[in-house]
Structure 1
């Protein structure tokens, strides 16, 4: 059987205050349409029926996920009692899938991506699943063809192309961290690098074996959890044991170490909704390149701003404002130069220190 997992457990701090702990970006409607989670689910439907789609989320958000995705069986919504990064999330989801079918493939996507067009994504996903079913020892990561020299994404260095039914599948030579501007330009010009999308396909057993080998401290807790899946003690054991899984990304834990990693090229428009600047590709812009959402502001001689107002009873007004982010909710107004958005975590820590957790 072929299964898919939507990772929907992040806290979305880079879009604070719009995104909060109790309502992260993937489950709130920022743009006046569907949530990012719903979009991710619908993107998978041409390949997977709802009962073969699992959602991994924070324990506190399982009811909200079920409301957004009523088609997904309740048993397919996996609540994490602790955030253990993507290695833990993958290991937990793989344990559930392997319990149902020891030979199952497992597609992993995240709930905070925008991918278009649908038909190209469907075709590439189908090819990746078939590749893994034909090569069960291999791990596939989706690589995005870069369209500009981004310093915000990690990169995949491609090795030799592997002939496979016309698909562009490559041996992965290495993973590269987010580069500086000069390196990003070199990566783009070389044509040998793809953006690292954080989406994968593999056999559930293959990724579990890799985790046990490269991250041995996860083996005991995951094995304990596997034994109780479907039992009355399932949630209790996850609560007890999941915190023992090391907190590390799947890239660091496995993908950068395994000799069996391949990349399939995804030639789609792809956007990781991880920052305010990313919103400019989704939000309507006025004639002065102001990206505006929510209660419309009153502006004079303002340009290149991102202004989001979630309070219908509050009006934002500006004169001569340029290259700023203004995000207003009922209890927080966040103002920041666009080039400083990368420092938002420092502001969150300051708010936590001075105002407590209530605003986070």
Structure 2
């Protein structure tokens, strides 16, 4: 049985302002009505897999749990205290499984890829299981469609013979000897595996070099997807990067369970080197003379890592003028554009090959040839200490969400939605008072020593320094308007005394 390991880290800064630090692209609906992490799990349907093991950071833990729970696929979630790249993250997953007495075949997937031909994806994965069972470290190489400079490449070497084929032929011969027609045994299939030893992993090339790679037919795009037994990954990591392995062992050796999450030792993990699986294991292993332990299996399934807005334009249907429009968009004399309108009417006149993205709190306008530079805008916003790099105007919490609809020097207005049965922490503020006006539903309010219900079109007032709490006791969502007034309105002016989500103040 395969254990899917979903890598859900990353900030997706090239897709700003859709993607932000606290709600990056893997948790957004980019290509369907499901989010990207949900699509990653759903495309495994039909494979013999366990519930997924997800690796994410502390800030995203509730989003991951909620989105996986929504598709009935909540498995284990390991929290990285801080990002240390893919090699340590995969080590945490492998060591966690081995500590439970398991040694599964791990299918390592990124949470932010689009694969349109899911049938072909599942076929290739299933046909690669035998390689992993026999100790190979499999990477899936994307069959290139053009000379791409934004991806790393894998150079394929000698073809790998699949030992399972001999076994299949033995079964077929036995069936014929027993006098049974082969066509009567539909469960027996013989399919030539297309797999090659990896000669080298290659960095992102310039355009001329990328064209040479494409023309040679020997190179594949590096997808960042892998398959191997947990013990084999640990074995090779011990050879080539023992510092990573030792730090991860100490981290996993002192874990704690918090709600749906597995927390590793933060102090030990902080000592772990930062390295990718390619640099830490795959590249040094494939350079060993005579080694065919690293294997590339070609995958031709309309794969895209959605690394820029141009990729979103590529995967979506276009109108007669080559435009992709999402939301309320009116276009006149404009061609080959991607226009996304989340909140307002967006109109374009006479523009070509452009990206226009409107969200509640930011607008991006860029030429398609410059979309890789969007990350530079994010870096500038961060340097200016602006919140738009980290947060959307609408912020999701485990109890629901809030939308900051207006902000002044000494006041802020939020629209708050609390899910049925959920409760915000028992808390207080040093610098602000709050007025709550219920728009729909019923609120159960704790205000100092008093607890009472506030119904639709009713309100209550929380003074500065008052211990308080908000709860939705009903079966429908609770919506209210919160007006904050004070000399400081930051989210860090919250002292939590009790919280069902493990966020009490230290």
TM bracket, shorter-chain basis: over 0.9
Trace 1:207-246 onto structure 2 (pairs within 5 A).
Answer: 207-229=233-255, 237-246=264-273
Match of residue 310, structure 1, among 338, 342, 363 = 342
Deviation, 1:357, is 3.6
The equivalent of 1:264 in structure 2 is: 297
TM-score by length of 1: 0.92
Change (3 A) 1:236 1:171: closer
Change (3 A) 1:2 1:101: farther
Deviation, 1:108, is 0.3
2:73 corresponds to 1:72: yes
Deviation, 1:124, is 0.9
Q: Secondary structure at the match of 1:202?
A: strand
| 8 Å contact from structure 2 (residues 78, 262) kept in 1 | no
Aligned length: 352
2:224 corresponds to 1:198: yes
The equivalent of 1:319 in structure 2 is: 349
Unaligned runs of 5+ in 2: 166-191, 287-292, 391-506
Change (3 A) 1:200 1:309: same
The equivalent of 1:333 in structure 2 is: 363
Deviation, 1:226, is 2.9
Match of residue 163, structure 1, among 156, 161, 178 = 161
2:292 corresponds to 1:289: no
The equivalent of 1:252 in structure 2 is: 279
Trace 1:59-208 onto structure 2 (pairs within 5 A).
Answer: 59-70=58-69, 71-73=72-74, 76-133=76-133, 135-136=134-135, 138-164=136-162, 165=165, 166-208=192-234
Q: Secondary structure at the match of 1:284?
A: coil
Higher helix share: 1
Unaligned runs of 5+ in 1: none
Q: What CA distance in whole angstroms lies between the structure 1 residues aligned with 2:243 and 2:218? A: 35
Q: What CA distance in whole angstroms lies between the structure 2 residues aligned with 1:253 and 1:95? A: 16
| 8 Å contact from structure 2 (residues 4, 50) kept in 1 | no
| 8 Å contact from structure 1 (residues 6, 111) kept in 2 | yes
Q: What CA distance in whole angstroms lies between the structure 1 residues aligned with 2:382 and 2:2? A: 43
Q: What CA distance in whole angstroms lies between the structure 2 residues aligned with 1:302 and 1:322? A: 6
Q: What CA distance in whole angstroms lies between the structure 1 residues aligned with 2:215 and 2:229? A: 34
Q: What CA distance in whole angstroms lies between the structure 2 residues aligned with 1:178 and 1:327? A: 28
CA deviations 1:291-327 (Å, max 9, x no partner) are 211x23222111111111111xx11112111111111
Q: What CA distance in whole angstroms lies between the structure 2 residues aligned with 1:31 and 1:114? A: 8
Deviation, 1:262, is 0.8
CA deviations 1:50-107 (Å, max 9, x no partner) are 53x2111122222211211123345x11122211111121111111122234432111
2:56 corresponds to 1:57: yes
Q: What CA distance in whole angstroms lies between the structure 2 residues aligned with 1:146 and 1:31? A: 21
The equivalent of 2:306 in structure 1 is: 273
Match of residue 356, structure 1, among 377, 386, 389 = 386
Deviation, 1:352, is 1.2
| 8 Å contact from structure 1 (residues 283, 291) kept in 2 | yes
RCO comparison, higher one (Cα < 8 Å, 6+): 1
Q: What CA distance in whole angstroms lies between the structure 2 residues aligned with 1:341 and 1:222? A: 36
CA deviations 1:141-161 (Å, max 9, x no partner) are 001111111111111101000
CA deviations 1:27-46 (Å, max 9, x no partner) are 12245611111110011232
Deviation, 1:190, is 0.8
Q: Secondary structure at the match of 1:286?
A: coil
TM-score by length of 2: 0.66
CA deviations 1:272-301 (Å, max 9, x no partner) are 1111110013333221111211x2322211
Q: What CA distance in whole angstroms lies between the structure 2 residues aligned with 1:357 and 1:252? A: 34
Q: What CA distance in whole angstroms lies between the structure 1 residues aligned with 2:8 and 2:100? A: 21
Q: Secondary structure at the match of 2:384?
A: helix
| 8 Å contact from structure 1 (residues 304, 324) kept in 2 | yes
2:342 corresponds to 1:344: no
Deviation, 1:203, is 1.1
Deviation, 1:236, is 5.7
Q: What CA distance in whole angstroms lies between the structure 2 residues aligned with 1:349 and 1:248? A: 22
Q: What CA distance in whole angstroms lies between the structure 1 residues aligned with 2:245 and 2:120? A: 37
Change (3 A) 1:149 1:96: same
Q: Which has the larger radius of gyration?
A: 2
| 8 Å contact from structure 2 (residues 57, 82) kept in 1 | yes
